[in-house]
Structure 1
């Protein structure tokens, strides 16, 4: 069993995705789950979690609708207007808490001009609401400033369960082992409510056509050392991952690395048991 905890879908006819408007890559088109599902068997993936790709409710509605129509979807990480705690509370109680597939929240903080966006008082109040309802939060950070912000959030709201998407962009492209990123990851790992998502590492390598397991393995091993096998799980990051190879390729590399680093019981935790517990699937 493998749970892919990081799948994106978007339908350009249904909603706007601002970050795609100037994109000239293969990503600037509609991607629906039906396109991915035939790749599940070869990748040995059995279920998936759909993850937010735009800061609006239309994106969340598309994911929830997709989840209702496909047994392979185990959960949805949606969006909430965190800058407005009253609205956040209202949408949760009037709608999302009644949705069986709603399992977490994310905001595209890496597209916000302020790397400390999460530390605004209104956002912190909304994150406290998530903590009260035991709703986990996905942190999509891409630099050390985002990681420092996540550390401060974890100190201000220690009961908030968080996961660092894509290991917060380790310095694979710079071939640093492990620099400031490593220091900050070690610091935040001290909070037992913070998890690490092994995902997006092919694109993080910066070498879209030539990256190998050897390029990313040290960063996975380092993360496992500090977060342990109880607080790590994996995601494929489709379709963004297609920039750096096929869906199956990414999953084969992740599985090979984990099997080389861990005994089977621990690898199983990272491949599905931890994800099931974290997102309450």
Structure 2
């Protein structure tokens, strides 16, 4: 089974996508399952992981409803307020739905870079472990050392790093990101998503811009812990679904079978 491990749906009238403004004109409209299915067919993708785009419980319930209506959505990565006093109870309730496979706080948008290490969040992380949920780490390069520390505190927490931690490809920043990603890959069992890189490269990207970053992730995480995701529709700011799909397959070469399928099934405990 070929799996797209990172895609989004949204409906503007729901009103909880604070980051989604008219300035992002190509994205400022509804994106629904009928918009995605032609791309899945063209690229022979059989299933997806639907990932949160708003920091609300309401959106998580909305995504679970879409997952119930669309069999190709194999799992949902939702959101819970990990600072809430009843975070563990909220996680337990959501986890009763078998389509919930993970949770994702929007760490990249939180002003405090040390937020994930706050002691009061430990209960929520332990609840994720107890309910066999994956933690999607939406982090930037500056968060990687803290992510290492977090995983040291919670060694049983299953972690998937989104978008290769968003290296600043358009500015050619490589060395510090590469060092921290290598350290994290070597010292933890985290997975990493091969997603979002084309957007980080900017509109004038070329495959040569992106290739060193993909090569480094493949070297660090290997063919068994790297997971392909489209990041659709956000990817359309820089490339079509098929462009990113085909380029990623070309860059990982003979390693594509696991990266485009079974690794996502392992990381998210899919049937």
Q: If the TM-score is normalised by the length of the shorter chain, which range does it land in? A: over 0.9
| Cα distance in 1, alignment partners of residues 168 and 155 from structure 2 | 27
Q: Contact 1:160–1:193 (CA<8 Å) still a contact in 2? A: no
2:213 is aligned, of 199, 213, 219, to 219
| Cα distance in 2, alignment partners of residues 273 and 200 from structure 1 | 20
How does the TM-score come out when normalised to structure 1? 0.91
TM-aligned CA deviation for residue 22 of structure 1: 5.9
Matched, 1:90 2:89: yes
User: What residue ranges of structure 1 are gaps of 5+ in the alignment?
Assistant: none
1:113 is aligned, of 111, 114, 123, to 111
TM-aligned CA deviation for residue 190 of structure 1: 2.2
Partner residue of 2:130? Answer: 132
1:236 is aligned, of 223, 230, 244, to 230
| Cα distance in 1, alignment partners of residues 112 and 187 from structure 2 | 24
Q: How many residues align?
A: 270
Matched, 1:26 2:20: no
Matched, 1:204 2:204: no
| Cα distance in 1, alignment partners of residues 133 and 211 from structure 2 | 30
Residue 224 of structure 2 aligns to a residue in which SS?
A: coil
| Cα distance in 2, alignment partners of residues 188 and 43 from structure 1 | 32
1:1-281 equivalences under 5 Å are 1-21=1-21, 23-84=23-84, 86-93=85-92, 95-142=93-140, 144-176=141-173, 178-206=174-202, 208=203, 210-259=204-253, 263=254, 266-281=255-270
Change in Cα spacing, 1:79 to 1:277, as seen in structure 2 (3 Å) is same
User: What residue ranges of structure 2 are gaps of 5+ in the alignment?
Assistant: none
| Cα distance in 1, alignment partners of residues 147 and 123 from structure 2 | 15
| Cα distance in 1, alignment partners of residues 45 and 139 from structure 2 | 25
| Cα distance in 2, alignment partners of residues 43 and 215 from structure 1 | 23
Residue 48 of structure 1 aligns to a residue in which SS?
A: strand
TM-aligned CA deviation for residue 171 of structure 1: 3.2
TM-aligned CA deviation for residue 252 of structure 1: 1.0
TM-aligned CA deviation for residue 258 of structure 1: 1.5
**RMSD of Structure 2 on Structure 1 (CA):** 1.5
Q: Contact 1:154–1:191 (CA<8 Å) still a contact in 2? A: no
Q: Contact 2:51–2:77 (CA<8 Å) still a contact in 1? A: yes
CA displacement, residues 244-264 of structure 1 (integer Å, 9 cap, x when unaligned)? 0211111111111112xxx3x
| Cα distance in 1, alignment partners of residues 23 and 82 from structure 2 | 27
| Cα distance in 1, alignment partners of residues 62 and 119 from structure 2 | 30
